[in-house]
Amino acid sequence: MDIKYWEGGLERHEIDAIEKIRNVLSAPKKQPKKGQGLDTLNALKKPFNDDWKGYAGFRFINKNKQGEIDLLIVTHCNILIIELKHWNGLPITSNDGKWFFGNDDRGKSPVEITRNKKFLLERLLKPFKGQFSNDSHIPRVYFLVVMTGTSDFSGLQQNELAETLSLSDFCKLCSNEHVFNQHFTPHPASAVLLQDIPLLENKLLNSTKVEARPLTVDGWVGQEEIFKHPKESYSEFLAQSESDKNDRAIIRSWNFDKLSNLEAKTPDGRFKIVSREREVLTKIKRENIELYGHCVSSLTIPSKEKITTQYNEVVELPHGQERLNDFIATYGENLSIDERINLVKVLVARFADLHQLHVAHRDIGRHSVWLSTGQRVALSNFISAF
């Protein structure tokens, strides 16, 4: 199965799951042996899932209503919207329209969210009624939530279990014609949908109707990248709140595959790495609340189950303040030598506070007058390198 990717907000576990699905549907078929009669003819029959087409990592835009799609599959007879969820460890249950990961409230049911995407796609298809190969009918649209992690989801409500499958069961569904037909009961006349791929791509999946799915974490939508670690262990993106366009934060996206140390290879080790900053900030908050007000901190509470080889967290931006490296990147080249030295004073003072070095700010200022011109220029070059 060919899959078109929109580069953007797909996470590592989503790409891994999509590639597994693609590999299952693209597996070479067994070649028939000579002299097998009817069995040989059946073997020569074109596989039911031959030439299916997939589209991954995009979102529909329809009058300000956006439907983010992890994976959309155009089969020979219908369209499948696949929502991928990668939860590990704790069991998943549901109650009152919400899903719970252990005791952690994970918000609105993915089944309901994905059902709304199905309704959106059906509305987008209606204007093309009569243009499809299946007479005047638009393609049937189905949706499934596919669980790619290790969490037990058998405790979900029965109506949600009907639309929720493990990744292995989904692969069986799409590779076994009998199982597929039992699940979807397609009308024989609908098995002409692959002829309409050009129509779908030209009219529905074009640049005016869809765009790359953005990186989204806990209601925050990632925008431009503002920092990448030299070893690419994490990147940071400016983020905007979905509920308040004026509220900004940072999404930090970890890629632990880029770290060579053994800690990054285990859940305990990754949890330790991600938790270090929170531990330091907790100490700062306890011992120097004024200094804490100048720090940024994660709004995402880490847990071992959440932190896989790729992990995203939301980092707050103190109200009305700008991070030092952002300030330097914007204004650094225009600062005079004295302004740069003053910036170094502030930086050293913060480090002094952090390490409880009893150096008063006035002492830093008093000693700075003894710097030679060369030293002052060196300090200027130092701060401009941040």
Tokens standing for 322? 């700008």
Residue 67 pLDDT grade (very low, low, confident, very high; cuts 50, 70, 90): confident
Distances (CA, A) of 73 to 32, 128, 253, 278: 29, 19, 28, 41
Where are the alpha helices (H) located in 204-323, listed in sequence order? 267-287, 289-292
Give the DSSP H or E segment for 45: none
Classify residue 28 by its DSSP letter. P
More confident residue, 326 or 268: 268
pLDDT for 325 equals: 63
For domain 217-316, the CATH architecture is 2-Layer Sandwich (3.30)
pLDDT at 324: 65
Instruction: Report how far residue 268's alpha carbon sits from residue 141's, in angstroms, rounded to the nearest whole number.
Output: 41
* CB contact burial 186-212 (16+ within 10 A = b; e otherwise): beeebbebbebeeebeebbbeeeebee
Q: Is the pLDDT of residue 279 over 50?
A: yes
CA of residue 80 relative to chain centroid, distance: 20
Taking the CA of residue 101 as centre, how many other CA atoms within 13 Å lie in the half-sphere pointing to its CB?
18
Task: Centre a 10 Å sphere on the Cβ of residue 120 and count the other Cβ atoms it contains.
Answer: 18
Rounded to 5 degrees, what are φ and ψ at 109? Answer: -55, 125
Instruction: Provide the pLDDT for residue 352.
Output: 76
Question: Among 214-223, 328-337, 362-371, where is mean pLDDT lowest?
Answer: 362-371
Of the chain, the percentage scoring pLDDT greater than 70 comes to: 82
Domain range annotation of the chain = 2-213, 217-316, 324-384
Amino acid 367: pLDDT: 42
How far apart are the C-alpha atoms of 48 and 175, rounded to whole Å? 8
* pTM to 2 decimal places: 0.74
Average pLDDT on 74-80 reads 97
Which range, of 166-180, 249-263, 342-356, averages the lowest pLDDT? Answer: 342-356
pLDDT band of 323, cuts 50, 70, 90? low
Tokens of 86: 């990668």
Q: Taking the chain, what is the end-to-end CA distance rounded to the nearest angstrom?
A: 47
User: How far apart (Å, rounded) are the C-alpha atoms in residues 49 and 177?
Assistant: 8
Please answer whether residues 299 and 315 qualify as being in contact, where contact means their C-beta atoms are separated by less than 8 angstroms. Answer: yes
Rounded CA separation 150/153 (Å): 9
**The predicted structure's pLDDT at residue 204:** 92
**Most confident segment among 210-219, 298-307, 355-364:** 210-219
Looking up tokens 């929720």, which residue turns up? 164
- Take residue 130 and report the two structure tokens written for it: 């009569």
Q: Given strand 310-316, what is the order of strands in its sheet?
A: 216-217, 220-228, 234-241, 248-255, 310-316
Query: What are the distances in angstroms from CA 223 to CA 139, 241, 248?
Result: 34, 11, 10
pLDDT band, very low/low/confident/very high, at 347 (cuts 50, 70, 90): confident
* Dihedral (Cα; 106, 88, 90, 24), 10-degree rounding: 100
Confidence of residue 65 (pLDDT cuts 50, 70, 90): low
pLDDT at residue 371, as a whole number: 43
Confidence class for position 127, pLDDT limits 50, 70, 90:
very high
